[in-house]
Amino acid sequence: MSALPLSGIKILDLTRVLAGPLSAQMLADLGAEVIKIERPGGGDDARAFGPPYLKDPEGKANNNNSFYLCANRNKKSVTVNIASPEGQDIIRELAKTADVMMENYKVGDLKRYRLDYESIKAINPGIIYCSVTGFGQTGPYAPRAGYDAILQAMGGLMSVTGHIDGEPGEGPMKVGPSIVDYMTGMNTSIGILSALFHRKANGGEGQHIDVCLFDTVIASLSHWLQIYLVNGVTPPRRGTWGNGGMPAGVFRCTDGELMLVVGNDGQFQRTCAVLGAPELATDPRFLKNNDRVVHGKEIMAIFAGLFLKKPVAYWLDELEKAGVPSGPINNFEQVFADPHVQARGMRVKVDHPFEKDLSLIRNAITFSGTPIKNYRAPPLLGADTADVLATIGYDAAKLEALKEKKIV
C-alpha cells in the first residue's frame, strides 16, 4: 500500500470550535501532520461547550467533551499563548516549515500579532494560508463573528426549513446538527487541497484562501435558491416533503414511520401497485411527475391513508422488492446497529488516555490504494508541546521557562 495521500504535508492549525477543526481533521486523516495550537489552560473553545465529557480515570474534571472529540483526531496539540511576543515567535518559527497555516480569528485580529497572511508570507512565500470566518475577509459584515445557527438564519436555510405553512408548528426552523460548519469545513479542505495541487503541479505560488460560513450556506441552497433566481419566488417550506420527485415524504404506518421518495414515473407506477392502488398510476392528475407536483397535497393525502394499513417492515420490504427508494427513520442507536453501517465500518475505535476503546466516526472517504487504516485519539491539551517545540530548538530548560510564564 502507498503512503496516505497527504504524507509529508505539514499544517499549522490555529482554528477553533468546529468548521476549521473539521477541515484540519480531514486533512490529518489523509496523512498530513497537523499541529493544533491551543490556549494554555483552556485550549480550543470547543472544550468548554458542555457535556458529555469523558470520564477521567482519577475522577477529575477535564476538557475532553464530545464537541472537541468529533473534530480533532489524528492531530498534535501544542499550547501557545499567541497574545505574548514569545508565543508569536513560536508560531512564526513553526510557520517557516509549514505547507499550510489555518486560522479562524476575526478579520484583522492576527495582523496585530504579525501572524496575518502578509506577515507569514514574508517568512514563507510558498505557504498556503487559509482563513475561515463567519462572513469572509471583505464586505460590510467582515468584522462580525458568526456561528452556525446565525448563518442558517441569515443565509436563507431556515426560511425554507420547517413545517408546511398552515400546519401546527409552522415557521422557520434550524437544521439539527451544525450543518453549515460541516459544509464550510469541506469547502476549506477543497480549497487547501486545490491550492496544494496548484503549487506543486502548476508551478504556482502559495496563496491566501478565504472561506466563510455565509458564502457556504448560500451556495449550499443549490436548486432551492435557483428557483428564486429563475422566477423570483422563494419556495415554501415543505416539512418532510421531497424536493423533486413526488410523492416524497414521511408516511405513518401502523407501528411507526418511513421515508419514501418516488423519483420518476416508473417508480410511481410500482409504488401504486405495492400500495394496492394501481389505478392511481393512470389517474390524469398523477400521470407525470410535474402533474404530481401540481397536485402534491392530493397524492400525499391519498398515500398517507394507504400507508396506515400495514407496519413499517412490511412496506419497506415490498418497496425494496419493487425498486422504490425508501427507508426507516432511524435514531442514532439504530444507525449504528444497522448491518450496512457496520459493514462500512463507520464506527472506529481509538486508544484514548481516558478510554481504551473510544468510539469515533470514521472519515467518510474510502480509498482503494491509500486506505485510512489507523486513527489516533484527539489529543489531550498540550500533549505534544514538548515534542513539537523541540523540533524548532526549544530544549527542556527553555520549555520550562515558558511554562512558568504561561506562554506554553
Helix, strand or coil, per DSSP, at residue 222: helix
Evaluate whether 181 touches 157 at the Cβ level (below 8 Å): no
Contacting residues for 70 by C-beta, under 8 A, at least 6 apart? 22, 360, 361
Cα 372 from Cα 107, distance rounded (Å): 35
Is the Cβ–Cβ distance between 75 and 380 less than 8 Å? Answer: no
Question: Residue 206's closest CA among 117, 108, 103, 105?
Answer: 117
Neighbours of 334 (CB within 10 A): 11
| Residue of 181, 283, 317, 357 marked active site | 181
Q: Which residue has the cell 426552523?
A: 173
Q: What secondary structure letter does DSSP report for 288?
A: S
Cis peptide before 247 (omega within 30 of 0): yes
116: annotated active-site residue: no
Instruction: Assess contact for 310 and 253: CB atoms under 8 A.
Output: yes
Alpha carbon distance 348, 361 (integer Å): 6
Compute the 3-state secondary structure of the chain and give helix, strand, coil in percent, each to the nearest 5: 40, 15, 45
- Provide the grid cell at 14: 490555529
Q: Is 397 exposed, middle or buried (0-12, 13-18, 19+ CB in 10 A)?
A: exposed
The residues annotated as belonging to the active site are 181
